[in-house]
Structure 1
Amino acid sequence: MSKERDMTDCLGPRLKVGVVLPATNTSVQPEMEAMRPEGVTNHTGRMQTEDTSLTGGIEDLVSSYREATHRAIGSLLPCKPDCFVVAFSPEIYWDGPGSQDEVVVSMKSASGGLPVTMSPDAFTTALSHYGVRRLGVITPYVPAGDDSVSRFFTESGYDVVSMTGLGCSSPERIAHVPEPELREAVKAVDTPDVEAIVQVGTNMAMMRVAAGAEAWLGKPVISNNTVLYWRALRQNGIADRIRGFGSLAEKY
Protein backbone atom coordinates (compact mmCIF):
# COMPACT_ATOMS: atom_id res chain seq x y z
CA MET A 1 0.00 0.00 0.00
CA SER A 2 1.44 3.41 -0.96
CA LYS A 3 1.89 6.09 1.65
CA GLU A 4 -0.17 9.24 1.51
CA ARG A 5 1.91 11.97 -0.14
CA ASP A 6 2.31 15.53 1.05
CA MET A 7 0.01 17.90 -0.86
CA THR A 8 2.84 20.30 -1.80
CA ASP A 9 4.21 20.05 -5.34
CA CYS A 10 7.94 19.20 -5.18
CA LEU A 11 9.11 21.67 -7.82
CA GLY A 12 6.40 24.30 -7.36
CA PRO A 13 5.80 24.49 -3.61
CA ARG A 14 5.18 28.25 -3.75
CA LEU A 15 2.98 28.55 -6.85
CA LYS A 16 1.92 26.60 -9.94
CA VAL A 17 1.00 28.93 -12.80
CA GLY A 18 -1.15 27.75 -15.70
CA VAL A 19 -0.14 29.73 -18.79
CA VAL A 20 -2.61 29.71 -21.67
CA LEU A 21 -1.29 30.87 -25.05
CA PRO A 22 -2.12 30.52 -28.74
CA ALA A 23 -0.67 27.55 -30.62
CA THR A 24 1.19 30.04 -32.83
CA ASN A 25 2.96 31.72 -29.90
CA THR A 26 6.66 30.91 -29.39
CA SER A 27 7.65 33.87 -27.17
CA VAL A 28 5.50 33.58 -24.03
CA GLN A 29 6.82 30.24 -22.82
CA PRO A 30 10.58 31.03 -22.93
CA GLU A 31 10.18 34.59 -21.67
CA MET A 32 8.01 33.69 -18.70
CA GLU A 33 10.22 30.72 -17.91
CA ALA A 34 13.24 33.03 -17.82
CA MET A 35 11.48 35.24 -15.29
CA ARG A 36 10.26 32.38 -13.06
CA PRO A 37 11.35 32.60 -9.38
CA GLU A 38 12.60 29.61 -7.40
CA GLY A 39 9.77 27.42 -6.17
CA VAL A 40 7.34 28.57 -8.87
CA THR A 41 6.51 26.42 -11.90
CA ASN A 42 4.81 27.29 -15.19
CA HIS A 43 2.51 24.85 -17.00
CA THR A 44 1.58 25.66 -20.57
CA GLY A 45 -1.71 24.96 -22.33
CA ARG A 46 -1.99 25.83 -26.00
CA MET A 47 -5.11 27.16 -27.66
CA GLN A 48 -5.76 25.15 -30.83
CA THR A 49 -5.85 27.98 -33.36
CA GLU A 50 -4.64 28.54 -36.91
CA ASP A 51 -2.08 31.05 -38.15
CA THR A 52 -4.77 33.38 -39.51
CA SER A 53 -3.79 36.32 -41.73
CA LEU A 54 -3.86 39.69 -39.97
CA THR A 55 -3.66 41.84 -43.09
CA GLY A 56 -7.42 42.05 -43.51
CA GLY A 57 -8.15 42.78 -39.83
CA ILE A 58 -8.32 40.65 -36.71
CA GLU A 59 -12.07 40.13 -36.22
CA ASP A 60 -11.91 36.49 -37.35
CA LEU A 61 -8.87 35.89 -35.15
CA VAL A 62 -10.64 37.27 -32.06
CA SER A 63 -13.75 35.17 -32.66
CA SER A 64 -11.83 31.93 -33.18
CA TYR A 65 -9.77 32.37 -30.01
CA ARG A 66 -12.59 32.74 -27.50
CA GLU A 67 -13.73 29.11 -27.36
CA ALA A 68 -10.15 27.88 -27.79
CA THR A 69 -9.10 29.77 -24.66
CA HIS A 70 -11.65 27.94 -22.52
CA ARG A 71 -10.56 24.57 -23.88
CA ALA A 72 -6.90 25.35 -23.16
CA ILE A 73 -7.74 26.33 -19.58
CA GLY A 74 -9.63 23.06 -19.18
CA SER A 75 -6.64 21.09 -20.47
CA LEU A 76 -4.54 22.38 -17.55
CA LEU A 77 -6.99 21.79 -14.72
CA PRO A 78 -5.84 18.18 -14.06
CA CYS A 79 -2.38 19.41 -12.98
CA LYS A 80 -4.13 21.60 -10.36
CA PRO A 81 -2.55 25.00 -10.99
CA ASP A 82 -3.03 27.75 -8.41
CA CYS A 83 -3.81 30.44 -10.98
CA PHE A 84 -3.92 31.18 -14.70
CA VAL A 85 -2.30 33.69 -17.03
CA VAL A 86 -4.16 34.23 -20.32
CA ALA A 87 -1.42 35.32 -22.70
CA PHE A 88 -3.53 36.51 -25.61
CA SER A 89 -4.09 40.23 -26.11
CA PRO A 90 -6.47 41.17 -28.98
CA GLU A 91 -9.63 39.66 -27.48
CA ILE A 92 -9.20 41.68 -24.31
CA TYR A 93 -8.70 45.03 -26.04
CA TRP A 94 -11.11 44.56 -28.91
CA ASP A 95 -14.31 45.80 -27.24
CA GLY A 96 -12.69 48.37 -24.94
CA PRO A 97 -12.21 48.41 -21.15
CA GLY A 98 -15.93 48.01 -20.46
CA SER A 99 -15.81 44.43 -21.72
CA GLN A 100 -12.95 43.35 -19.47
CA ASP A 101 -15.04 42.32 -16.47
CA GLU A 102 -17.24 40.10 -18.61
CA VAL A 103 -14.22 38.41 -20.18
CA VAL A 104 -12.58 37.84 -16.79
CA VAL A 105 -15.78 36.30 -15.40
CA SER A 106 -15.90 33.98 -18.40
CA MET A 107 -12.29 32.90 -17.93
CA LYS A 108 -12.70 32.38 -14.19
CA SER A 109 -15.74 30.23 -14.87
CA ALA A 110 -13.63 28.06 -17.17
CA SER A 111 -10.90 27.86 -14.51
CA GLY A 112 -13.28 26.70 -11.80
CA GLY A 113 -12.92 30.00 -9.96
CA LEU A 114 -9.11 30.15 -9.88
CA PRO A 115 -7.47 33.59 -10.22
CA VAL A 116 -6.96 34.69 -13.83
CA THR A 117 -4.46 37.37 -14.90
CA MET A 118 -4.97 39.23 -18.18
CA SER A 119 -3.18 42.06 -19.93
CA PRO A 120 -5.49 45.06 -19.31
CA ASP A 121 -5.43 44.78 -15.51
CA ALA A 122 -1.72 44.00 -15.57
CA PHE A 123 -0.91 47.16 -17.54
CA THR A 124 -3.15 49.50 -15.55
CA THR A 125 -1.82 48.15 -12.25
CA ALA A 126 1.79 48.57 -13.40
CA LEU A 127 1.22 52.09 -14.72
CA SER A 128 -0.42 53.12 -11.43
CA HIS A 129 2.86 52.31 -9.64
CA TYR A 130 4.69 54.74 -11.90
CA GLY A 131 1.98 57.40 -11.75
CA VAL A 132 2.13 58.07 -15.50
CA ARG A 133 -0.58 58.96 -18.01
CA ARG A 134 1.12 59.87 -21.30
CA LEU A 135 2.07 56.74 -23.24
CA GLY A 136 3.98 55.62 -26.28
CA VAL A 137 2.52 52.32 -27.51
CA ILE A 138 4.10 49.61 -29.65
CA THR A 139 2.00 46.84 -31.23
CA PRO A 140 2.71 44.07 -33.75
CA TYR A 141 -0.65 44.66 -35.43
CA VAL A 142 -2.17 46.15 -38.54
CA PRO A 143 -4.20 49.40 -38.13
CA ALA A 144 -7.43 47.68 -37.00
CA GLY A 145 -5.58 46.11 -34.09
CA ASP A 146 -3.75 49.36 -33.32
CA ASP A 147 -7.06 51.21 -33.15
CA SER A 148 -8.53 48.81 -30.58
CA VAL A 149 -5.41 49.04 -28.39
CA SER A 150 -5.37 52.84 -28.60
CA ARG A 151 -9.07 52.99 -27.73
CA PHE A 152 -8.55 50.75 -24.72
CA PHE A 153 -5.82 52.92 -23.22
CA THR A 154 -7.62 56.18 -24.06
CA GLU A 155 -10.90 54.99 -22.52
CA SER A 156 -8.93 53.83 -19.46
CA GLY A 157 -7.80 57.42 -18.87
CA TYR A 158 -4.41 57.46 -20.60
CA ASP A 159 -3.18 59.82 -23.30
CA VAL A 160 -1.72 57.84 -26.21
CA VAL A 161 0.88 60.34 -27.37
CA SER A 162 2.41 58.11 -30.03
CA MET A 163 1.88 54.64 -31.44
CA THR A 164 3.61 52.39 -33.91
CA GLY A 165 2.24 49.13 -35.30
CA LEU A 166 4.71 46.76 -36.92
CA GLY A 167 2.12 45.33 -39.31
CA CYS A 168 2.90 41.64 -38.84
CA SER A 169 1.05 39.55 -41.41
CA SER A 170 0.08 36.66 -39.10
CA PRO A 171 0.24 35.70 -35.41
CA GLU A 172 3.21 33.37 -35.94
CA ARG A 173 5.17 36.07 -37.78
CA ILE A 174 5.02 38.36 -34.75
CA ALA A 175 7.75 36.27 -33.12
CA HIS A 176 10.04 36.95 -36.10
CA VAL A 177 10.48 40.68 -35.36
CA PRO A 178 14.21 41.06 -34.58
CA GLU A 179 15.62 43.03 -31.67
CA PRO A 180 17.05 45.85 -33.85
CA GLU A 181 13.57 46.52 -35.22
CA LEU A 182 12.12 46.49 -31.71
CA ARG A 183 14.72 49.03 -30.59
CA GLU A 184 13.81 51.25 -33.54
CA ALA A 185 10.15 50.97 -32.55
CA VAL A 186 11.02 52.18 -29.04
CA LYS A 187 12.83 55.18 -30.52
CA ALA A 188 9.90 55.87 -32.87
CA VAL A 189 7.35 56.22 -30.07
CA ASP A 190 9.60 58.04 -27.61
CA THR A 191 9.02 61.79 -27.45
CA PRO A 192 9.62 64.32 -24.67
CA ASP A 193 5.90 64.12 -23.82
CA VAL A 194 5.88 60.32 -23.40
CA GLU A 195 6.15 59.27 -19.75
CA ALA A 196 6.20 55.50 -20.34
CA ILE A 197 6.33 53.09 -23.27
CA VAL A 198 4.18 49.98 -23.35
CA GLN A 199 4.34 47.07 -25.80
CA VAL A 200 1.33 44.85 -26.41
CA GLY A 201 1.24 41.52 -28.20
CA THR A 202 2.48 38.47 -26.33
CA ASN A 203 4.25 36.81 -29.27
CA MET A 204 6.61 39.77 -29.60
CA ALA A 205 9.85 38.87 -27.79
CA MET A 206 10.31 42.29 -26.21
CA MET A 207 11.32 41.46 -22.64
CA ARG A 208 15.07 41.92 -23.07
CA VAL A 209 14.80 44.98 -25.33
CA ALA A 210 12.38 46.69 -22.92
CA ALA A 211 14.63 46.15 -19.91
CA GLY A 212 17.64 47.51 -21.77
CA ALA A 213 15.76 50.49 -23.20
CA GLU A 214 14.93 51.77 -19.72
CA ALA A 215 18.64 52.36 -19.12
CA TRP A 216 19.08 54.73 -22.06
CA LEU A 217 15.65 56.37 -21.98
CA GLY A 218 15.34 56.91 -18.24
CA LYS A 219 11.62 56.06 -18.27
CA PRO A 220 9.53 52.87 -17.89
CA VAL A 221 9.42 50.54 -20.89
CA ILE A 222 6.97 47.71 -20.18
CA SER A 223 6.71 44.59 -22.30
CA ASN A 224 3.52 42.55 -22.43
CA ASN A 225 5.00 39.29 -21.15
CA THR A 226 6.89 40.99 -18.33
CA VAL A 227 3.82 42.81 -17.03
CA LEU A 228 1.57 39.74 -17.32
CA TYR A 229 3.88 37.45 -15.40
CA TRP A 230 4.74 40.15 -12.83
CA ARG A 231 1.03 40.74 -12.17
CA ALA A 232 0.31 37.02 -11.82
CA LEU A 233 3.12 36.62 -9.28
CA ARG A 234 2.04 39.61 -7.22
CA GLN A 235 -1.66 38.65 -7.32
CA ASN A 236 -0.78 35.25 -5.94
CA GLY A 237 1.55 36.13 -3.09
CA ILE A 238 4.97 35.99 -4.77
CA ALA A 239 6.74 39.25 -3.87
CA ASP A 240 10.28 38.43 -5.05
CA ARG A 241 12.14 41.36 -6.59
CA ILE A 242 13.38 39.92 -9.88
CA ARG A 243 16.47 41.49 -11.46
CA GLY A 244 17.25 41.68 -15.14
CA PHE A 245 13.72 42.29 -16.43
CA GLY A 246 13.29 46.01 -15.89
CA SER A 247 12.25 48.31 -13.09
CA LEU A 248 8.72 46.88 -12.74
CA ALA A 249 9.84 43.42 -11.63
CA GLU A 250 12.78 44.77 -9.64
CA LYS A 251 11.07 47.56 -7.67
CA TYR A 252 7.34 46.72 -7.36
Structure 2
Amino acid sequence: MMLTRGRARFGVLVPFTNTNLEPDMALLCPEGVSLHVARLGGYDQDEIPDAAQMHGLGAADLDEPLRLLQGVRPDVILYGCTSATLTHGLAFDRALAERIRAESGARTVTAAGALVHALKVLNVDRIGFASPYVAAINDMATGFLSEAGIQTVARSDVEGELDNYGQGELDPDAVFELGLAADHADAQAVVLSCTDMRSVEVITRLEQALGKPVITSNQAMMFQAMQLCGIELGASKYASGYGQIMEGVGHGV
Protein backbone atom coordinates (compact mmCIF):
# COMPACT_ATOMS: atom_id res chain seq x y z
CA MET A 1 0.00 0.00 0.00
CA MET A 2 1.27 3.46 -0.89
CA LEU A 3 2.11 5.59 2.15
CA THR A 4 0.61 9.01 1.34
CA ARG A 5 1.44 10.98 4.49
CA GLY A 6 3.36 11.06 7.74
CA ARG A 7 6.91 11.51 6.45
CA ALA A 8 6.83 15.22 5.57
CA ARG A 9 4.55 17.98 4.32
CA PHE A 10 5.57 20.07 1.33
CA GLY A 11 3.78 23.38 0.84
CA VAL A 12 3.79 24.74 -2.71
CA LEU A 13 3.22 28.34 -3.85
CA VAL A 14 2.09 28.21 -7.49
CA PRO A 15 1.07 30.92 -10.00
CA PHE A 16 -2.71 30.83 -10.37
CA THR A 17 -2.76 29.95 -14.10
CA ASN A 18 -0.18 27.15 -13.77
CA THR A 19 -1.73 23.76 -14.58
CA ASN A 20 1.33 21.49 -14.65
CA LEU A 21 3.26 22.03 -11.44
CA GLU A 22 0.77 20.12 -9.29
CA PRO A 23 0.58 17.06 -11.59
CA ASP A 24 4.39 17.06 -11.78
CA MET A 25 4.70 17.19 -8.00
CA ALA A 26 2.32 14.24 -7.75
CA LEU A 27 4.53 12.26 -10.17
CA LEU A 28 7.73 13.18 -8.33
CA CYS A 29 6.52 12.99 -4.75
CA PRO A 30 8.11 10.22 -2.66
CA GLU A 31 6.05 7.95 -0.45
CA GLY A 32 4.92 9.47 2.82
CA VAL A 33 5.11 13.10 1.65
CA SER A 34 1.90 15.08 1.30
CA LEU A 35 1.53 18.15 -0.93
CA HIS A 36 -0.38 21.31 0.03
CA VAL A 37 -0.85 24.14 -2.46
CA ALA A 38 -1.63 27.86 -2.34
CA ARG A 39 -2.00 29.94 -5.48
CA LEU A 40 -0.26 33.22 -6.31
CA GLY A 41 -1.48 36.29 -8.17
CA GLY A 42 0.40 39.44 -9.11
CA TYR A 43 0.16 39.15 -12.91
CA ASP A 44 -2.48 39.44 -15.64
CA GLN A 45 -3.61 36.08 -16.99
CA ASP A 46 -4.54 37.66 -20.35
CA GLU A 47 -1.14 39.26 -20.96
CA ILE A 48 1.94 37.62 -22.45
CA PRO A 49 4.12 36.53 -19.49
CA ASP A 50 6.96 38.85 -20.43
CA ALA A 51 9.68 40.28 -18.21
CA ALA A 52 7.41 42.98 -16.77
CA GLN A 53 4.64 40.50 -15.89
CA MET A 54 7.02 38.02 -14.26
CA HIS A 55 8.88 40.81 -12.48
CA GLY A 56 5.50 41.82 -11.04
CA LEU A 57 4.79 38.28 -9.90
CA GLY A 58 8.14 38.08 -8.15
CA ALA A 59 7.43 41.33 -6.32
CA ALA A 60 3.80 40.44 -5.48
CA ASP A 61 2.55 40.36 -1.89
CA LEU A 62 2.95 36.86 -0.46
CA ASP A 63 1.40 37.55 2.93
CA GLU A 64 -2.01 35.97 2.39
CA PRO A 65 -1.06 32.81 0.42
CA LEU A 66 1.87 32.27 2.78
CA ARG A 67 -0.37 32.72 5.84
CA LEU A 68 -2.86 30.20 4.49
CA LEU A 69 -0.15 27.72 3.60
CA GLN A 70 1.31 27.94 7.09
CA GLY A 71 -1.98 26.50 8.36
CA VAL A 72 -0.78 22.99 7.42
CA ARG A 73 2.60 23.51 9.17
CA PRO A 74 4.71 22.48 6.16
CA ASP A 75 8.22 21.14 6.64
CA VAL A 76 9.34 22.71 3.35
CA ILE A 77 7.81 25.49 1.26
CA LEU A 78 8.47 25.47 -2.49
CA TYR A 79 8.19 28.76 -4.38
CA GLY A 80 6.94 27.38 -7.68
CA CYS A 81 7.73 29.96 -10.35
CA THR A 82 11.16 30.07 -11.95
CA SER A 83 10.87 33.20 -14.08
CA ALA A 84 9.44 35.32 -11.25
CA THR A 85 12.83 35.41 -9.55
CA LEU A 86 15.00 34.91 -12.63
CA THR A 87 13.81 38.35 -13.71
CA HIS A 88 14.97 39.91 -10.43
CA GLY A 89 18.38 38.29 -10.08
CA LEU A 90 20.23 35.91 -7.80
CA ALA A 91 20.32 38.17 -4.73
CA PHE A 92 16.53 38.67 -4.91
CA ASP A 93 15.94 34.93 -5.21
CA ARG A 94 18.03 34.23 -2.13
CA ALA A 95 16.40 37.07 -0.18
CA LEU A 96 12.92 35.78 -1.08
CA ALA A 97 13.80 32.30 0.14
CA GLU A 98 15.11 33.76 3.39
CA ARG A 99 11.98 35.88 3.84
CA ILE A 100 9.67 32.88 3.37
CA ARG A 101 11.80 30.86 5.76
CA ALA A 102 11.77 33.62 8.39
CA GLU A 103 8.01 34.18 8.16
CA SER A 104 6.97 30.53 8.02
CA GLY A 105 9.62 28.72 10.01
CA ALA A 106 9.78 26.18 7.14
CA ARG A 107 12.80 25.29 5.08
CA THR A 108 12.43 26.96 1.70
CA VAL A 109 13.17 26.10 -1.92
CA THR A 110 12.75 28.42 -4.91
CA ALA A 111 12.45 27.06 -8.43
CA ALA A 112 15.32 29.20 -9.76
CA GLY A 113 17.50 28.49 -6.75
CA ALA A 114 16.78 24.77 -7.07
CA LEU A 115 18.10 24.75 -10.65
CA VAL A 116 21.37 26.26 -9.42
CA HIS A 117 21.50 23.84 -6.49
CA ALA A 118 21.01 20.78 -8.71
CA LEU A 119 23.69 21.90 -11.17
CA LYS A 120 26.14 22.56 -8.34
CA VAL A 121 25.47 19.11 -6.88
CA LEU A 122 26.29 17.61 -10.28
CA ASN A 123 29.42 19.82 -10.59
CA VAL A 124 28.02 21.27 -13.81
CA ASP A 125 29.11 24.73 -14.91
CA ARG A 126 28.28 24.62 -18.64
CA ILE A 127 24.71 24.01 -19.81
CA GLY A 128 22.28 24.10 -22.67
CA PHE A 129 19.17 26.07 -21.72
CA ALA A 130 15.59 25.78 -22.96
CA SER A 131 12.31 27.35 -21.84
CA PRO A 132 8.94 28.56 -23.16
CA TYR A 133 9.75 32.14 -22.08
CA VAL A 134 9.99 35.20 -24.27
CA ALA A 135 13.54 35.91 -25.42
CA ALA A 136 14.04 38.77 -22.96
CA ILE A 137 13.38 36.48 -19.99
CA ASN A 138 15.76 33.90 -21.42
CA ASP A 139 18.40 36.63 -21.53
CA MET A 140 17.72 37.33 -17.84
CA ALA A 141 17.73 33.62 -17.03
CA THR A 142 21.15 33.05 -18.56
CA GLY A 143 22.39 36.15 -16.72
CA PHE A 144 21.01 34.77 -13.45
CA LEU A 145 22.81 31.48 -14.01
CA SER A 146 26.00 33.31 -14.95
CA GLU A 147 25.86 35.12 -11.60
CA ALA A 148 25.83 31.66 -10.01
CA GLY A 149 28.88 30.57 -12.01
CA ILE A 150 27.00 28.59 -14.66
CA GLN A 151 27.72 29.35 -18.32
CA THR A 152 25.03 28.83 -20.95
CA VAL A 153 26.78 27.51 -24.07
CA ALA A 154 23.60 26.91 -26.11
CA ARG A 155 20.00 28.06 -25.89
CA SER A 156 16.69 27.01 -27.41
CA ASP A 157 13.84 29.54 -27.64
CA VAL A 158 10.25 28.87 -28.69
CA GLU A 159 8.96 30.47 -31.84
CA GLY A 160 6.79 33.53 -31.22
CA GLU A 161 5.41 34.44 -27.79
CA LEU A 162 3.37 31.98 -25.75
CA ASP A 163 0.69 33.25 -23.38
CA ASN A 164 0.20 31.92 -19.85
CA TYR A 165 -1.82 28.95 -21.08
CA GLY A 166 0.29 28.33 -24.19
CA GLN A 167 3.35 27.63 -22.07
CA GLY A 168 1.51 24.89 -20.20
CA GLU A 169 -0.06 23.48 -23.35
CA LEU A 170 3.23 22.57 -25.05
CA ASP A 171 2.99 18.81 -25.36
CA PRO A 172 5.83 16.53 -24.21
CA ASP A 173 7.02 15.92 -27.79
CA ALA A 174 7.40 19.67 -28.32
CA VAL A 175 9.27 19.95 -25.02
CA PHE A 176 11.54 17.07 -26.04
CA GLU A 177 12.42 18.82 -29.31
CA LEU A 178 13.06 22.07 -27.42
CA GLY A 179 15.47 20.22 -25.15
CA LEU A 180 17.26 18.53 -28.05
CA ALA A 181 17.75 21.91 -29.71
CA ALA A 182 19.41 23.27 -26.55
CA ASP A 183 22.18 20.68 -26.52
CA HIS A 184 25.80 21.43 -27.39
CA ALA A 185 28.97 19.34 -27.30
CA ASP A 186 30.34 21.60 -24.55
CA ALA A 187 27.17 21.41 -22.41
CA GLN A 188 27.51 19.09 -19.42
CA ALA A 189 23.74 19.11 -18.84
CA VAL A 190 20.57 20.53 -20.34
CA VAL A 191 18.20 22.69 -18.27
CA LEU A 192 14.47 22.92 -19.00
CA SER A 193 13.24 25.96 -17.10
CA CYS A 194 9.58 26.70 -16.21
CA THR A 195 7.32 25.09 -13.61
CA ASP A 196 4.39 25.09 -16.08
CA MET A 197 6.19 23.31 -18.94
CA ARG A 198 5.68 19.54 -19.25
CA SER A 199 9.37 18.74 -18.86
CA VAL A 200 9.20 16.05 -16.18
CA GLU A 201 7.54 13.63 -18.59
CA VAL A 202 10.47 13.73 -21.02
CA ILE A 203 13.45 13.69 -18.63
CA THR A 204 14.38 10.02 -19.07
CA ARG A 205 13.80 10.07 -22.83
CA LEU A 206 15.89 13.21 -23.23
CA GLU A 207 18.71 11.93 -21.02
CA GLN A 208 18.87 8.77 -23.11
CA ALA A 209 18.98 10.79 -26.33
CA LEU A 210 21.63 13.24 -25.10
CA GLY A 211 23.75 11.03 -22.86
CA LYS A 212 23.86 13.70 -20.15
CA PRO A 213 21.78 14.90 -17.19
CA VAL A 214 18.58 16.87 -17.73
CA ILE A 215 17.46 19.26 -15.00
CA THR A 216 13.94 20.72 -14.88
CA SER A 217 12.41 23.28 -12.54
CA ASN A 218 9.96 20.94 -10.82
CA GLN A 219 12.37 18.00 -10.61
CA ALA A 220 15.05 20.28 -9.12
CA MET A 221 12.63 21.63 -6.50
CA MET A 222 11.59 18.14 -5.44
CA PHE A 223 15.22 17.01 -5.33
CA GLN A 224 16.22 19.86 -3.02
CA ALA A 225 13.13 19.48 -0.82
CA MET A 226 13.84 15.77 -0.40
CA GLN A 227 17.44 16.54 0.55
CA LEU A 228 16.31 19.08 3.15
CA CYS A 229 14.08 16.43 4.75
CA GLY A 230 16.71 13.70 4.61
CA ILE A 231 14.67 11.55 2.23
CA GLU A 232 16.87 8.99 0.48
CA LEU A 233 17.15 9.37 -3.27
CA GLY A 234 16.00 6.44 -5.37
CA ALA A 235 14.40 4.78 -2.35
CA SER A 236 10.84 5.23 -3.62
CA LYS A 237 9.45 4.41 -7.03
CA TYR A 238 7.36 7.56 -6.75
CA ALA A 239 10.48 9.75 -6.83
CA SER A 240 12.62 7.62 -9.11
CA GLY A 241 12.70 7.37 -12.88
CA TYR A 242 12.85 11.14 -13.33
CA GLY A 243 16.45 11.76 -14.17
CA GLN A 244 19.94 10.96 -13.04
CA ILE A 245 19.86 13.45 -10.20
CA MET A 246 16.81 11.77 -8.63
CA GLU A 247 18.66 8.46 -8.70
CA GLY A 248 21.73 9.86 -6.97
CA VAL A 249 23.79 9.43 -10.15
CA GLY A 250 26.91 11.54 -10.40
CA HIS A 251 26.79 13.21 -7.01
CA GLY A 252 27.49 10.56 -4.44
CA VAL A 253 24.21 10.98 -2.58
TM-score normalised to structure 1 length: 0.88
Distance 1:78 1:24 in 2: 23
Question: Could you report, residue by residue, the CA deviation over 1:55-92 in whole angstroms, capped at 9, with x for unpaired residues?
Answer: 7x321332145335442222111122112011011221
Q: 2:47 corresponds to which residue?
A: 53
State the Cα RMSD in Å.
1.9
Q: 1:106 corresponds to which residue?
A: 99
Structure (1 or 2) with the larger CA radius of gyration: 1
Q: 2:141 corresponds to which residue?
A: 149
Q: 1:125 corresponds to which residue?
A: 117
Structural mapping, 1:147-186, within 5 Å: 147-166=139-158, 167-186=160-179
Q: 2:55 corresponds to which residue?
A: 62
3-state SS of the aligned residue for 2:139?
Answer: helix
User: Would the aligned equivalents of 1:20 and 1:69 in 2 still touch at CA under 8 Å?
Assistant: no
User: Would the aligned equivalents of 2:55 and 2:88 in 1 still touch at CA under 8 Å?
Assistant: no
Q: Which amino acid aligns with 1:220?
A: P
Q: 1:249 corresponds to which residue?
A: 246
Question: Could you report, residue by residue, the CA deviation over 1:33-60 in whole angstroms, capped at 9, with x for unpaired residues?
Answer: 11111111001111135414227x3213
Note the residue ranges of structure 2 that are not aligned, 5 or more in a row: none
User: Would the aligned equivalents of 2:191 and 2:216 in 1 still touch at CA under 8 Å?
Assistant: yes
Structural mapping, 1:11-26, within 5 Å: 11-26=4-19
Post-superposition offset of 1:163: 1.0
C-alpha spacing 1:240/1:154, structure 2 compared with 1 (3 Å): closer
C-alpha spacing 1:190/1:11, structure 2 compared with 1 (3 Å): closer
Question: Could you report, residue by residue, the CA deviation over 1:72-125 in whole angstroms, capped at 9, with x for unpaired residues?
Answer: 2221111221120110112211122232222222222342x2111112331222
C-alpha spacing 1:165/1:68, structure 2 compared with 1 (3 Å): farther
Distance 1:177 1:243 in 2: 24
**Which of 34, 39, 54 is 1:41 aligned to?**
34
3-state SS of the aligned residue for 1:79?
Answer: coil
**Which of 221, 235, 239 is 2:232 aligned to?**
239
Q: 2:66 corresponds to which residue?
A: 73
User: Would the aligned equivalents of 1:70 and 1:107 in 2 still touch at CA under 8 Å?
Assistant: no
Note the residue ranges of structure 1 that are not aligned, 5 or more in a row: 1-9
Post-superposition offset of 1:212: 1.5
C-alpha spacing 1:64/1:190, structure 2 compared with 1 (3 Å): closer
Distance 2:166 2:180 in 1: 22
Distance 2:76 2:205 in 1: 29
Please say which of residues 168-177 and 200-209 is displaced more in the overlay.
168-177
C-alpha spacing 1:168/1:17, structure 2 compared with 1 (3 Å): farther
Distance 2:83 2:71 in 1: 27
Q: Which amino acid aligns with 1:115?
A: R
Q: 1:3 corresponds to which residue?
A: none
Please say which of residues 60-69 and 19-28 is displaced more in the overlay.
60-69
Q: Which amino acid aligns with 1:175?
A: G
Between Structure 1 and Structure 2, how many residues are aligned? Answer: 241
Percent identical pairs in the alignment equals 25
Distance 2:57 2:94 in 1: 20
Distance 2:204 2:161 in 1: 23
Q: 2:206 corresponds to which residue?
A: 213
**Which of 118, 126, 130 is 1:134 aligned to?**
126
